[in-house]
Chain A
Amino acid sequence: MKRIGLKIAIMAIVAYVAPSWAGESPAVRNCTWCHGAGAQGYTVAPRLAGQRPLYIMSQIRSFREHARDNPFSKQYMWSAVTALDPHTARDLADYFATIPPKAANDGDTTLASRGRTIYLEGIPEANIVSCYACHGPNAEGVRDIPRLGGLAYFYLKGRLEQWGEGYHSGTESPMPMVASHLGPDEIAALASYLSFVK
């Protein structure tokens, strides 16, 4: 009985998701399989839609070189990029960048305004820098600096924690220094705010 219920649920999901696969190339589908329909992100796999192409390429490179070494990267992305040649990587990055991103809107609304203040101003007294200086007024990113606006709360929170836990990203980035000053409350506030940014 339970099984039938599960099957019905799965069929419902297939019926909902399947049409959006139409027209996707096999290479794209290999990504959206985990990164969600329309590359809008799915649980631990972040949204790729609207992401900066140079950032996507730099991360693919860091997965290939095993430089980005947090558990999910090791578990999924290290093997996922092994067969990706640089040309395909660039095509994928360009393709995902053109998809309009949707905001996850899954943070804690009561923390969002505190998060916005930290994003724009930092906390100078605590030597926490402003995120805005690098990620832009609307968290849109630029060049190889990622778009953060509208990413999922748990992804943002996990990433900010990982910098402080000693994981690496493989790019020359000030983020380990930035995140080492953030406490759990600040991380929760920032991740909440950013999840709502369109």
Chain B
Amino acid sequence: MMGARSHEAEASGGRRGGRIVKALSLRMALQAATVAVAFSTTGHAADGGAPARQGGLEAKLEYCKTCHGLSGQGYLGYFPMPRLAGQQPEYIEAQLRAFIERRRTNPIMFNVAHVLSPSMLTALAMHFRDLNPKPFGGGPRGSLAEGKKIFDEGLPEANVPACSACHGTTGKGQNEIPRLAGQVYEYTVGQLTGWKKERGQGSAIDTSAIMAPTAHNLTRSQVEAVAAYVSYLQ
């Protein structure tokens, strides 16, 4: 059907103009009809009121998971959204407070976090602790061995301590030290390469300063290797 029509339109010679006119008038009639349908359906939809504004923890969790993945496994939008599943509650709370107080620069998360009550912060953090989906995946697999070595042993000659020393041998983190296991690759790369810019604002009162020299001492390819390695840890 479509093919036939295109061949018709392709045909050259004296009849071409007439055929196009015929086809075009058909097209216009069709489109007039579809526009009429569009107006009638949208008019109908506009009659309904705004959906009920839900409150409470469940609605807020759905809101978080819209961006951070339905199981909190993370998501790749225009920006990478970090995995929250299995994350240390103290870390989540500390970061949400850092967004609110603008010690961690992120326009989206400032807007998200500044409406959260302290008790909601705690409840959200506790919820994500208990989720355990598979890693989001997608990190490159070419330098996993190098990443593992950096994670396990660090780079003594470059003043990079072993990640495992603080984040744990399985990358699960503890207290205010975040879980890295299963973290979205692009997110980890973004944080480690932009540490000072995004997270260097609160060094006087939070733990963000601890990572600054380490992030600084890693080369881009080392960052990518270690980010890929932790992205596959379960």
Chain A residues close to B by CB (< 8 Å): 6-7, 10-11, 13-14, 18, 21, 26-27, 29-30, 33-34, 42-44, 71-72, 75, 79-80, 83, 120-122, 124-130, 132-137, 141-143, 145, 154, 157-158, 161, 164-165, 174, 177-178, 180-186
- With contacts A26-B7, A33-B27, A44-B34 known, is A133 near B79, CB below 8 A? yes
B78 touches A136 (CB 8 A): yes
B41 touches A130 (CB 8 A): no
- Of chain A, the residue at the smallest CB distance from B50 is A183
A43 touches B35 (CB 8 A): yes
CB distance from A1 to the nearest CB of B (A): 17
- With contacts A26-B10, A127-B60, A180-B51 known, is A133 near B67, CB below 8 A? yes
From the candidates B7, B46, B77, name the one contacting A133 in the complex (CB within 8 A).
B77
CB distance from A197 to the nearest CB of B (A): 14
From the candidates A18, A72, A80, A161, name the one contacting B20 in the complex (CB within 8 A).
A18
B9 touches A10 (CB 8 A): no
A164 and B59 alpha carbons, distance in the complex (Å): 16
B49 touches A183 (CB 8 A): yes
- With contacts A10-B28, A161-B42 known, is A134 near B67, CB below 8 A? yes
26 example contacts (A-B, Cβ-Cβ < 8 A) are as follows: A10-B25, A26-B7, A30-B2, A30-B5, A72-B38, A75-B34, A121-B111, A122-B111, A124-B111, A124-B112, A125-B115, A127-B62, A127-B63, A130-B111, A133-B81, A133-B108, A134-B67, A134-B78, A141-B78, A157-B42, A158-B41, A161-B42, A174-B75, A177-B65, A185-B50, A186-B50
- With contacts A14-B20, A133-B108 known, is A42 near B53, CB below 8 A? no
- Interface positions, chain B 10-50, Cβ under 8 Å from A, are 10, 17, 20-21, 24-25, 27-28, 31, 34-35, 37-38, 41-42, 45-46, 48-50
Taking CB atoms, residues of chain A closer than 8 Å to B111 are: 121-122, 124, 130
Taking CB atoms, residues of chain A closer than 8 Å to B24 are: 10, 13-14
For B216-231 the 0/1 string (1 means CB < 8 A from A) is 0000000000000000
A43 and B108 alpha carbons, distance in the complex (Å): 34
B6 at the interface (CB under 8 A from A): yes
B114 at the interface (CB under 8 A from A): yes
A14 and B81 alpha carbons, distance in the complex (Å): 48
Chain B residues close to A by CB (< 8 Å): 1-3, 5-7, 9-10, 17, 20-21, 24-25, 27-28, 31, 34-35, 37-38, 41-42, 45-46, 48-51, 53-54, 59-60, 62-63, 65-67, 70, 75-79, 81, 107-108, 111-112, 114-115
A164 touches B51 (CB 8 A): yes
A177 and B42 alpha carbons, distance in the complex (Å): 20
- Of chain A, the residue at the smallest CB distance from B25 is A10
Taking CB atoms, residues of chain B closer than 8 Å to A11 are: 21
From the candidates B5, B41, B50, B63, name the one contacting A33 in the complex (CB within 8 A).
B5
A26 touches B78 (CB 8 A): no
CB distance from A194 to the nearest CB of B (A): 15
- With contacts A14-B17, A26-B6, A127-B54 known, is A145 near B77, CB below 8 A? yes
A80 and B1 alpha carbons, distance in the complex (Å): 9
